[in-house]
Chain A
Amino acid sequence: MATKLSPKDFATATPSWWCPGCGDFGVLAALKQACADLVLQPKNVAFISGIGCSGKISGYLHSYAFHGVHGRALPTATAVKLANRELNVIVAGGDGDGYAIGAGHFLHAVRRNPDMTYIVMDNQTYGLTKGQSSPTSMLGFKAGPHPEGNPDAPINGLAIALAAGGTFLARGFSSEPKAMTEMLKEAMQHPGFAVVEVMSPCVTFNKVNTYKWFKENVYHVDDSAGYDVRDRDRAFATLMQPGKMPLGIFYRELRPTLDELVLGKESAPLTSLPIENVDPKLLSLQDAYA
């Protein structure tokens, strides 16, 4: 293992396509810092992203990065992890990617509990297609297809994940770099499926949920007396509470990961199986048909 790494070790030369001031810069910075602090090796990081502004992030992290199709990053990443369990698998996508087009996969990833980290970069709008309502847009959000205001209630992704059997649920705010970094480090060290929702303001198309709005409308569960991340009921109540938006790690639980259940605790990665030489034992498999 290398001695010490800095965020620069995870930087790519690719210029960013994000707008100046975009919340996603904060997510990327925290992610690079977390990878460096955990001394991950870029060659062992598989970073899978979806589509949208958030999905661009895979191009900016020096790693094995895969930029798949809209909403399908989780199944892709789950299989990458199963194929090579030695990799550190990180997934990133937006609120549309995870809670709309990929909502089905989100639920199933949660219940499978693969050992990987999923960052939902939530800007409460569809930015790349120029500002439509997203599944987390507030009721009444005025957008292209909803000039009179969004009629659909927002999705509470973390509460849904908790109900589906989530084992690590957290929410951060992209302009709190230190807290974000620590949260991501906790998530990446969690043996199981860690969901980190990051409020990542869209400075161009979301004029409601701005940096200022967040500063006025969030609180940290760490500040709540006696908050216990093992308390499922408390986590659920916290996530469902109307009013100010809670930030922090809401819930943690240890249960067997998908990789452990499918592959066992110790087995080598599938990618290391010596398939180049046909296993002679395969020949006798035909006897069952004779």
Chain B
Amino acid sequence: MIINNIEVLFGGQAGDGSLTTGDLIAMVFKRMGLELYTFKDFPSRIRGGHTNYVIRASEHRHYGMADFVDAMVAFDLECVEKHITEMRPGGFVIFDNTSDKLTDDVRRDDVYFYEAPLAKIAKEQLGLELVRNTISLGVLGALIGMDSAIVRELVTKQYARKGEKVVAQNIGAVEAGEQFVKEHHPRPSGYSLNARPDDQRLLMMGNDAIGYGALVAGCRFMAGYPITPATDILEWMAKYAPRYGGIVVQAEDELAAINMTVGAAYAGTRAMTATSGPGQALMTEGIGLAGVVETPIVVVECARAGPSTGMPTKTEQSNLNHIIFSGHGEIPKIVLAPGTVEESFYLTIAAFNLAEKYQLPVFILTEQALCQSKESIPRLELGAVTIERGKLSRNGGLEFGTYKRFEFTEDGVSPRAIPGTEGGMHLAPGSEHNDAGVITENAGNRARMMEKRMRKLASAQPELPKGNVLGDPSAAIALVGFGSNRGPISEAQDRLAAAGMATRFLQLRTLWPFPEDEVRDFIAGAEHIFVVENNLTGQLERLIRYVTGPLAHMHPLRKYSGRPFRPIEIIEAVQAQVHGRRETAVV
């Protein structure tokens, strides 16, 4: 019997309501005191096409998927066909056999099938085929021992705004599911749950944490253009920002979005935009503008699989080069990369402070497997949040003729007057300019001004978020990674340690300016260095090689199928390499 440890894959066709039920399942687990990670694997279309929602519940926080799926809820044969190989031996499938019949070729001897005509029950007993999702929740709950009071409470809450009838239908659906198990499937599933204290934890998605962090940080203007997987942030801000006096503009394209962000920030509001690869490409010019007019903006990049349209709903870390190196000319910029939902919140706040203190663009680089995933997290702390606005002059005291917007200073940061401030009038040009903002191509000024702007990175250095070092810092085996790989890597570490192999892991949280010293110190003395990343060409590894030069004991560990790592893939690759086999550990 496996207790309090289960990964559920809930799958069917897009548009059939499986995301709602997946969210419900996750919330039931959370309320039963378990730790959660969810992963949405959906197609880039509205209706139709296989979609699935993975919900992992366990006693420990994992920030990623497990090796295998324990329980599959399949509404069609396609779901079984696609995922049966991902099932853990001993796992089970709940299969809706209303229209599709199971075929022998998809069956596995070590996986049990609980067949139930979910759609038929929905239609015949409840008069609404749509509630087959909720019936499956009843079936799953009965098989693994979900707290039925919590299930009922959450179902009621979920459908309350649709009226009593819908609530009654869905409660009836839960009961029908439970009843079906009682009558037809007495066989135990092999899984059970023990409720633990919930402690008012949150179940939050990465994108929501970024929106929330932005609002807490004082962001009151957001402009964006819809793009998966970043749109959630735009919609989150549209819902919540107005309650705090803020506004959201849906721009006509990403060119407008970035220039609006620059405009609002120039005027003195904390402002951000959020986009993904294709939008990031269009924003490049505007980001350069922000760099040269020294306007503080925050740009969230929710990375997805490229190039071009690529796979819009799939995860990838192939925009690292792009975000760091895109842009003509040279500007100072900062790139932060959270690895968990909690970090998404806190690093967003840090991003706004850094942006305004150093008057430059700050990026938050996240990716689909993190930004659209939910994690159970402790309550977020607001008490320690400080808002640092840097050298912002808002209360006048500036003398026109003396005031210099782009004054040469030791730290590179100049006093910033915003429109409306007495005495601060100046030109802020994208063209090269002198300290007063007057356009000039003077050679000496050019060099000084470039140095002044770039000096801000050195000034910001001590405040840039340090990476997390996990595991045994003196272990001979080192792993380096960022973003959503935090989860699978740290889990692989735990299991390797249990098998007698100690490892150290540097989860980078500042990616630009590249933390050269941090990386150099971390890898010193390691016998093996694994650079774990979700792209084909090893973009992170190349950044490291700029620092270290080529190293024979540095090994690529890359995955670029659009899906995140599962821990076993990392474990096997590390073991294969360390035990002497030389094959490339691409999985």
Give every chain A residue within 8 A of B380 (Cβ-Cβ).
Answer: 286
- Residues of A178-237 contacting chain B, CB below 8 A: none
Residue-wise, chain A 38-60 has the 8 Å CB interface mask toward B (1 for contact) of 00001111101001000010110
Give every chain A residue within 8 A of B245 (Cβ-Cβ).
Answer: 267, 270, 273
Q: Is the CB of B419 within 8 A of A275?
A: no
Give every chain B residue within 8 A of A56 (Cβ-Cβ).
Answer: 439
Give every chain B residue within 8 A of A72 (Cβ-Cβ).
Answer: 255-256, 259, 285-286
Q: Is the CB of A282 within 8 A of B244?
A: yes
Pick the contact of A66 from B266, B389, B421 — CB < 8 Å? B266
Q: Is the CB of A59 within 8 A of B256?
A: no
- Which of B216-224, B469-477, B482-490, B558-566 binds A? B216-224
In the complex, how many angstroms separate the beta carbon of B62 from the nearest chain A beta carbon?
19
Give every chain A residue within 8 A of B50 (Cβ-Cβ).
Answer: none
**With an 8 A cutoff between CB atoms, is A262 at the interface?**
yes
Give every chain A residue within 8 A of B100 (Cβ-Cβ).
Answer: none
Please judge, given known A-B contacts A43-B422, A64-B419, whether A285 and B212 are in contact too, CB under 8 Å: yes
Q: In the complex, A76 Cα to B422 Cα: how many Å?
A: 22
**With an 8 A cutoff between CB atoms, is B202 at the interface?**
yes
Residue-wise, chain B 380-391 has the 8 Å CB interface mask toward A (1 for contact) of 101001010100
In the complex, how many angstroms separate the beta carbon of B259 from the nearest chain A beta carbon?
4
Q: Is the CB of B263 within 8 A of A282?
A: no
- Residues of B367-416 contacting chain A, CB below 8 A: 379-380, 382, 385, 387, 389
Give every chain A residue within 8 A of B430 (Cβ-Cβ).
Answer: 51, 67-69
Residue-wise, chain A 276-290 has the 8 Å CB interface mask toward B (1 for contact) of 111111110110011
**With an 8 A cutoff between CB atoms, is B319 at the interface?**
no
**With an 8 A cutoff between CB atoms, is A156 at the interface?**
no
Q: In the complex, A50 Cα to B271 Cα: how many Å?
A: 21
- Which of A80-88, A166-174, A240-248 binds B? A80-88
Pick the contact of B202 from A79, A104, A286 — CB < 8 Å? A286
Chain A residue total in the interface (Cβ 8 A)? 58
Pick the contact of B270 from A107, A275, A285 — CB < 8 Å? A275
Q: Is the CB of A64 within 8 A of B425?
A: yes
In the complex, how many angstroms separate the beta carbon of A234 from the nearest chain B beta carbon?
30
Q: Is the CB of A289 within 8 A of B262?
A: no
Q: In the complex, A86 Cα to B267 Cα: how many Å?
A: 11
- Residues of A1-58 contacting chain B, CB below 8 A: 12, 14, 42-46, 48, 51, 56, 58
In the complex, how many angstroms separate the beta carbon of A92 from the nearest chain B beta carbon?
13
**With an 8 A cutoff between CB atoms, is B215 at the interface?**
yes
Q: In the complex, A281 Cα to B212 Cα: how many Å?
A: 12
Q: Is the CB of B259 within 8 A of A42?
A: no
Q: Is the CB of B427 within 8 A of A65?
A: yes
In the complex, how many angstroms separate the beta carbon of B203 from the nearest chain A beta carbon?
6
Give every chain A residue within 8 A of B267 (Cβ-Cβ).
Answer: 46, 79-80, 83-84, 87, 270-271
Q: In the complex, A76 Cα to B269 Cα: how many Å?
A: 13
Pick the contact of A43 from B385, B424, B429 — CB < 8 Å? B424
**With an 8 A cutoff between CB atoms, is B251 at the interface?**
yes
Give A67's nearest chain B residue, CB to CB.
B429
Please judge, given known A-B contacts A43-B420, A76-B263, whether A104 and B246 are in contact too, CB under 8 Å: no
**With an 8 A cutoff between CB atoms, is B200 at the interface?**
yes
Q: Is the CB of A275 within 8 A of B387?
A: yes
Residue-wise, chain B 164-181 has the 8 Å CB interface mask toward A (1 for contact) of 000000000000000000
Q: Is the CB of A68 within 8 A of B289?
A: yes
In the complex, how many angstroms separate the beta carbon of B331 from the nearest chain A beta carbon?
13
Q: Is the CB of B424 within 8 A of A48?
A: no
Give every chain B residue within 8 A of A64 (Cβ-Cβ).
Answer: 418-420, 424-426, 428
**With an 8 A cutoff between CB atoms, is B575 at the interface?**
no
**With an 8 A cutoff between CB atoms, is A159 at the interface?**
no
Q: Is the CB of B438 within 8 A of A14?
A: yes
Chain B residue total in the interface (Cβ 8 A)? 65
Give B419's nearest chain A residue, CB to CB.
A64
Q: Is the CB of A275 within 8 A of B255?
A: no
Give A283's nearest chain B residue, CB to CB.
B382
Number of A-B pairs whose CB atoms are under 8 Å?
196
Q: In the complex, A44 Cα to B419 Cα: how many Å?
A: 6
Q: Is the CB of A270 within 8 A of B246?
A: yes
**With an 8 A cutoff between CB atoms, is A154 at the interface?**
no
Residue-wise, chain B 216-238 has the 8 Å CB interface mask toward A (1 for contact) of 10101101000000000000000
Q: Is the CB of B262 within 8 A of A76?
A: yes
Q: Is the CB of B256 within 8 A of A43?
A: no
Give B285's nearest chain A residue, CB to CB.
A69
Q: Is the CB of A76 within 8 A of B419?
A: no
**With an 8 A cutoff between CB atoms, is B451 at the interface?**
no
Q: In the complex, A153 Cα to B245 Cα: how many Å?
A: 46
**With an 8 A cutoff between CB atoms, is A177 at the interface?**
no
**With an 8 A cutoff between CB atoms, is A252 at the interface?**
no
In the complex, how many angstroms separate the beta carbon of A111 from the nearest chain B beta carbon?
9
Q: Is the CB of B425 within 8 A of A63?
A: yes
Q: Is the CB of B420 within 8 A of A86?
A: yes
Residue-wise, chain B 425-451 has the 8 Å CB interface mask toward A (1 for contact) of 111111100000011000000000000
Pick the contact of A67 from B246, B382, B427 — CB < 8 Å? B427
Residue-wise, chain A 116-144 has the 8 Å CB interface mask toward B (1 for contact) of 00000000000000000000000000000
Q: In the complex, A77 Cα to B266 Cα: how many Å?
A: 10
Q: Is the CB of A44 within 8 A of B387?
A: no
Give every chain A residue within 8 A of B201 (Cβ-Cβ).
Answer: 290
Pick the contact of B439 from A59, A66, A278 — CB < 8 Å? A59
Q: In the complex, A68 Cα to B287 Cα: how many Å?
A: 11
**With an 8 A cutoff between CB atoms, is B522 at the interface?**
no
Pick the contact of B264 from A65, A74, A83 — CB < 8 Å? A83
Q: Is the CB of B387 within 8 A of A289?
A: no
Give A72's nearest chain B residue, CB to CB.
B259
Give every chain A residue within 8 A of B439 (Cβ-Cβ).
Answer: 14, 56, 59, 67
Q: Is the CB of A276 within 8 A of B387?
A: yes
CB<8 Å pairs between A and B, sample of 22: A14-B427, A44-B419, A58-B429, A63-B425, A67-B427, A67-B431, A75-B260, A76-B259, A82-B247, A82-B264, A83-B221, A84-B420, A87-B419, A105-B256, A107-B252, A263-B247, A270-B269, A273-B269, A275-B270, A276-B218, A278-B218, A289-B208
10 other contacts beyond A108-B252, A290-B198, with CB at 8 A cut-off? Answer: A43-B423, A68-B293, A69-B286, A72-B285, A76-B260, A79-B271, A80-B266, A82-B247, A104-B252, A278-B385
Which residues of B does A touch, CB under 8 Å? 198, 200-204, 208, 212, 215-216, 218, 220-221, 223, 240, 244-247, 249, 251-253, 255-257, 259-264, 266-271, 285-286, 288-289, 293, 379-380, 382, 385, 387, 389, 418-431, 438-439
In order of increasing CB-CB distance, the 3 nearest A-B pairs are: A275-B218, A79-B263, A83-B267
Which residues of A does B touch, CB under 8 Å? 12, 14, 42-46, 48, 51, 56, 58-59, 62-69, 71-72, 74-80, 82-84, 86-87, 104-105, 107-108, 262-263, 267, 269-271, 273, 275-283, 285-286, 289-290
